[in-house]
Amino acid sequence: MGRLSRAGVHAVLIAYSLLAVAPILIVVMNSFKARSDIFGSPLSPPNAQSFSLIGYSKVLLRAQFGTWFANSLIVTLSAMALTLLFGAMAAWALTEYRFRWTNVLALYMAIGIMVPIRLGSIAILTMMHAAHLNDTLFALILVYIAQGLPMAIFILSEFIQQIPQDLRDAARCDGVPETRIFFDVIAPLLRPAIATVAVFTIVPIWNDLWFPLILTSSSSTHTITLGVQQFLGQYITDWNSVLAALSLAILPVVVIYIIFSRQLISGLTAGAVK
C-alpha cells in the first residue's frame, strides 16, 4: 500500500505538472512557426518547413519591445525591493514592539489581503491625477507596493516570530543598535521568507494589465503586458508577434524562479511546518 500510495501521489503530481507546463510549451513552440502552421498544427513542434522567426523579427525590430521590457523590469524590481524593505521593517515593528493597537494594525493589514486593490481603481486614478503622476512608472510602483505590502507583512511576521528571542536579547546586551539588529541579525535569517514574498510579489506585477491600462497612456510608459495588446486587433491579430512577445515575456519570471527556487521551497516548507 505504501508503494501504491506513493505511485498515486507521483502520478497526480506529474499530471498536474504537465497540465501547468503544456500551455507554456504550446505558446513557445508556436512562436517559432509560420502563421499557417500555427492554425494547421498547433500541437506539433516546428520542423524544417514550418520553422519561422518572423514573429521575433517583428517584435524585436519593429515594435518598442525593448522599451516595454525595460519598463516592466523597472516597475517590477523597484516595487519588489521596496515591498520587501518596507514589509520586513513593518513586520519587525509589529512583532517586536508590542503596544496597545498592535492587533488592530495586524487586522488592518490582513484586510488588505482579503480586499482586492482593484476595487479602489477610481480613487487611485483620482489620487494619481491630483499628484500629477499620471502616465509615469512611479505611479505603477506606488500602486504595486500598496498591493504587495499586506501579504509581505503577514508572511514575514510569521517567520520573525520563529526567531528565538534570546538571539535578539543577546545582541541588545552587546550594545548593538536596533537598526543593526534588524539588518545584520534578523534580515539574514529571513532569506527563505524573503524569497517566498519576492516570487509572490513579482509574478502578479509582471503579469498585470489593469493598472498599466488605466495609469499609463503613452507608448513610452507601457509595460510588456500592455504593449503586447497592440498586436491584438479587432479584426486581425498578428499571432506570430503575440506568441513571440509572450515567449520573451516568460523568460524573466522563469529566471527569477530558478534563482529563488531553493529559498522558495525552504520558505514554503517552513510555513507548512509552522
Q: Is there a single domain that holds both residue 95 and residue 172?
A: yes
Domain that holds residue 31: 1-52
Q: Is there a single domain that holds both residue 165 and residue 221?
A: yes
Taking only the tens place, the pLDDT of each residue in 21-78 is 888 888 888 888 888 888 888 888 888 888 888 888 888 887 688 888 899 999 999 9
Q: How far apart are CA 71 and CA 69, in angstroms?
A: 5
Backbone angles phi, psi at 232, to 5 degrees: -100, 115
Among residues 14, 33, 52, which one ends one of the domains?
52
Q: How far apart are CA 31 and CA 35, in angstroms?
A: 9
As beta bridge partners, residue 237 has 232
Angle between helices 65-96 and 191-207 in degrees, nearest 10: 140
Q: Is there a single domain that holds both residue 21 and residue 81?
A: no
Closest CA to 110 of 162, 158, 163: 158
As beta bridge partners, residue 47 has none
Among residues 52, 74, 95, which one ends one of the domains?
52
pLDDT at 191 over 90: no
* 168/261: higher pLDDT: 168
Q: Is there a single domain that holds both residue 152 and residue 255?
A: yes
pLDDT at 79 over 90: yes
Q: Is there a single domain that holds both residue 74 and residue 48?
A: no
Q: Is there a single domain that holds both residue 94 and residue 208?
A: yes
- The pLDDT, as a whole number, for residue 267 is 56
Q: Is there a single domain that holds both residue 115 and residue 174?
A: yes
- The pLDDT, as a whole number, for residue 74 is 93
Report the CATH number that the domain containing residue 109 is assigned in CATH: 1.10.3720.10
Closest CA to 87 of 222, 235, 190: 190
Q: Is there a single domain that holds both residue 85 and residue 68?
A: yes
Among residues 52, 71, 89, which one ends one of the domains?
52
Q: Is there a single domain that holds both residue 154 and residue 261?
A: yes
Q: Is there a single domain that holds both residue 27 and residue 158?
A: no
Closest CA to 267 of 161, 181, 155: 155
Q: How far apart are CA 187 and CA 173, in angstroms?
A: 19
DSSP track, 158-211 = HHHHTS-HHHHHHHHHTT--HHHIIIIIIHHHTHHHHHHHHHHHHHHHHH--HH
Taking only the tens place, the pLDDT of each residue in 123-155 is 999 999 899 888 899 999 999 999 999 889 888
Q: Is there a single domain that holds both residue 86 and residue 112?
A: yes
**CA distances, 62 to each of 58, 195, 224, 266 (Å):** 5, 36, 15, 43
Angle between helices 65-96 and 239-273 in degrees, nearest 10: 10
pLDDT at 213 over 50: yes
Q: How far apart are CA 102 and CA 239, in angstroms?
A: 52
Report the domain count for the chain. 2
Which of 40-44, 86-90, 166-170 is most confident? 86-90
Helices (H), the chain: 2-31, 35-40, 54-57, 65-96, 102-114, 121-130, 137-161, 165-173, 178-180, 187-189, 191-207, 210-215, 224-228, 239-273
* Percent above pLDDT 90 for the chain: 15
**CA distances, 271 to each of 157, 161, 263 (Å):** 11, 12, 12
Q: Is there a single domain that holds both residue 41 and residue 157?
A: no
